[in-house]
Chain A
């Protein structure tokens, strides 16, 4: 299955929760925010929100800026 992850297509073997997706990507969930199909997923929802084929996911963090 294919999702759109941070604007690019990304292949997943099967549907994953946000938590599982972050673990797959080696991303610490504490430093990021996640948007799933344009809706913010609160951190408490990372375990219960499932990413399915065709979904759009944005994962953002803080970087240097003024």
Chain B
């Protein structure tokens, strides 16, 4: 356990990186990527059991639940009711109160429907869920979600699966400044520097799936992301130097050997 853990709703995570289980070429690669990422929480989706092909392997055969906490999501839900229903089902599968709450408002961007998200958060918090809502990078909705009882807020860095990196650094910083719960940048990271930038903004963690799963070498990228998150966190804690418009020499101006 490190000396700077991420604590959400009283649960201590040694890694500030949360990773997904989607889009991998196969479960073996996913398992290796999870190990390389150093993450101790992973997201899963909730779907109907495939009744026609019972030979397909189960995801849970490749996830050691002693090592990883599962965070079921409500991805694909477009109404508060569907998200609530899916969250309840996820609780029964995983026997855990934790949910990554998604209520999608638009098919092309997968941006959240924040009004429905807020409504679903209220209901699920009332039912004892630990709710981690995926939301817009908007400080106002993040504060409303926190007031509704969210255990963390998870603003997007960019559209899900886009790999565009953190689009609105200023908003992410304001969200962090306002928040009394952990802030996890969820979605939009494309490569390790994006993860580092998110962490340098001061957020508490980063959640990603596609950036690792869709890399040419997912296992190597998982390790790069681990290092990016650690580097960004450490740089944030170290406190960066002020930005200046012009140069200031690093070497002393005196004692220069010059002329003939």
Contact = CB atoms under 8 A, between A and B. Distances in A.
Contact of B89 (A7, A28, A43, A58): A58
Contact of B20 (A5, A27, A58, A65): A65
A58 B47 CA distance: 10
Contact of A35 (B72, B89, B187, B207): B89
Interface in B22-41: 22-24, 30
A7 B47 CA distance: 12
Interface in B147-185: 160-161
Given A63-B59, A66-B20, A66-B73, A7 B94 contact: no
B49 A32 contact: yes
Interface residues of A, number: 24
A65 B90 contact: no
B92 interface: yes
Give the bracket for the number of chain B residues in contact with chain A.
35 or more
Nearest to A65: B45
Contacts of A25: 49, 51, 54
Binding site of B, secondary structure by majority: helix, strand, loop or mixed? mixed
Given A33-B92, A40-B88, A66-B20, A60 B46 contact: yes
A66 B47 contact: no
B229 interface: no
Interface in A51-66: 58-66
Nearest to A43: B92
A64 B75 CA distance: 11
Interface of B: 20-24, 30, 43-49, 51, 54, 58-60, 70, 72-73, 75, 85, 88-94, 160-161, 187, 207-210
27 contacts: A6-B49, A25-B51, A27-B54, A33-B46, A34-B92, A42-B92, A43-B92, A59-B49, A60-B89, A60-B93, A61-B58, A61-B59, A62-B44, A62-B45, A62-B60, A62-B70, A62-B72, A63-B59, A64-B20, A64-B24, A64-B45, A65-B43, A65-B75, A66-B22, A66-B23, A66-B43, A66-B160
